[in-house]
Amino acid sequence: MTTSLPNDVLLLIGEHLNQQDRWNLLFVSKHFHDLFLPFFSHSVALHNWHGTLSFIRAISKRPSLARAVRQLDLDAWKSRSVSDDERAQIRDSVQLRDWLTAVSDSEDDRLQWRKDLQNGFGDPWIALVLPQLVQLKRLRLTYASNTPFLDRLMQRAVNPKTPIDGRPILGRLREVSLRHQEDLDRPKNQDDAELEDRSSPSSSSLILPFFQLPSVQTLRAESVIDPSSGTSGTSEDEENTEEQWAPGFSSIKEIDLRSSNGNHGMESLIASCADLRSFKYQHTDAHIVSHGYQPSAFYRSLTRSKNSLQTLWLDQHGDHYPFTAAGLNQTHDEWFGSLAGFVALRQVRIRLPNLLDIRYQNQPSTPLVDCLPPTLETLYIEGCEERNLSMLASQLQTVIKNRQAKVPQLHRVDIEGAFHDDPSDDSGHSESSPNECPESMIKDKILQAAEPLHVDCLNAGIELHLHDRMCSAPTEVSW
């Protein structure tokens, strides 16, 4: 079969076809087979060393497949044992030998790399495949506490003087998702000094280089210990790298940190962003080096981005312990500060004690109407206790009355708290656990307390939603 259309036009057509239609095109002719085959490597998922070895062999034979990869998913990486025969295959593989020569720094490095490949560890396999994907745009990665090969690769990636095969490493990467899993694919009974610090994961050493890559715009990560805190276990080299950072050098626009601890408001990460538009943070006191949640530290850090920040989620369903590494946890209810100066902010999700300064009083020291940004569109308030609902409803009613002058674009308000009504037996004891709540859970008196606010919202054209997250299927009441 012949066609008068140039390949570029055919490829543009292929981008608008579904996967089945593209598959059918492979069998039209040899020309179509060679042309459209790379579409099937646009998105690649690797789950263990065995699949990665097969992938490396495939792209070694057809380099165009490697150039076609845009998304790499390593999120589901699992351990897989290596037999003696498979170790021999890895040791004798020509493709691995040639590529190891290209990526390793020395003969000793190459020997150690090959040894760890034969053990099936994820770190050396992942560090081996990443430099080959020169067009990679999205990366999902699960990693362990000890990642020597990935760490060295990322240091080379941020240094323009150390390319591989004359090509920059991860130079087109735009989105990164990092998930920490303690000692991934390492035997639990392994007597290894590398695993001594099992209870103090710090993804900072792996995260920091992504801020230095030229094209990355979105970074999501878990278990991040604030690299600004000096308690994350960063090495002297990492500290020196931090000191060399100039404010606003990073292209990252979106940061999403889960199960993390920002003792100093993630200052070094936020300050590095020239145009930060979205910041989402979920706090936890679970890490051994954790300190209590300090919203005011985030206020100081985020003030740098008050002219660009459009989305702010703070402490979304975070974990707070009575005691932390610093002792008695006395700061987790601290006021964040007024958001009025954040002139681009559209979406806010925040706990009530951090939105309003009500820790020692029934009424906030600064009214809510004076704390909100003028560009606000949606407001989600977490952690509202029943005793504070009437106060919050009154504050929101004042906001609605002054909506045109203060927040003319506000169109949705969500309030979340422990509002459910547990069913009880005749003796007054609850018959259900928190995960077995009935379908109708929000107390009548909660609905009655919120009814005047509902009426004002209805008249103003604002959606009002009440949530209770205590159940496996969170309850929501929407008027």
* Block mean pLDDT (10 aa), the chain, length 479: 75 73 70 74 88 89 87 91 93 90 90 93 93 95 87 91 85 94 59 40 73 96 79 43 67 96 91 97 84 90 97 90 73 83 98 89 92 98 93 98 97 92 52 49 88 96 90 54
Which residues are registered as beta bridge partners of 172? none
Residue pair 334/292 in contact (Cβ under 8 Å)? The answer is no
Question: Does residue 394 form part of some domain?
Answer: yes
Q: What is the DSSP string of 12-42?
A: HHHHTS-HHHHHHHTTT-HHHHHHHGGGGGS
Classified as helix, coil or strand, 368 is helix
Q: Which residues contact 433 (CB under 8 A, 6 or more apart)?
A: none
Give the pLDDT of residue 235: 42
Cα angle for residues 435, 438, 439 (degrees, 5° grid): 115
Question: Does residue 16 form part of some domain?
Answer: no
Question: Does residue 416 form part of some domain?
Answer: yes
Full domain range(s) for residue 459: 359-376+383-424+434-479
List, as own/partner pairs, every contact residues 322-326 make where C-beta atoms lie below 8 angstroms and the sequence separation is at least 24, other chains included: 324/285, 324/290, 324/291, 324/292, 325/231, 325/288, 325/289, 325/290, 325/291, 326/291, 326/292
Give the pLDDT of residue 476: 60
Give the pLDDT of residue 423: 58
Question: Does residue 19 form part of some domain?
Answer: no
Question: Does residue 462 form part of some domain?
Answer: yes
Classified as helix, coil or strand, 112 is helix
Question: Does residue 354 form part of some domain?
Answer: no
Place of tokens 């021999």: 88
Give the pLDDT of residue 441: 72
* pTM, entire model: 0.84
Give the pLDDT of residue 422: 64
Number of structural domains found in the chain: 1
Question: Does residue 403 form part of some domain?
Answer: yes
Question: Does residue 443 form part of some domain?
Answer: yes
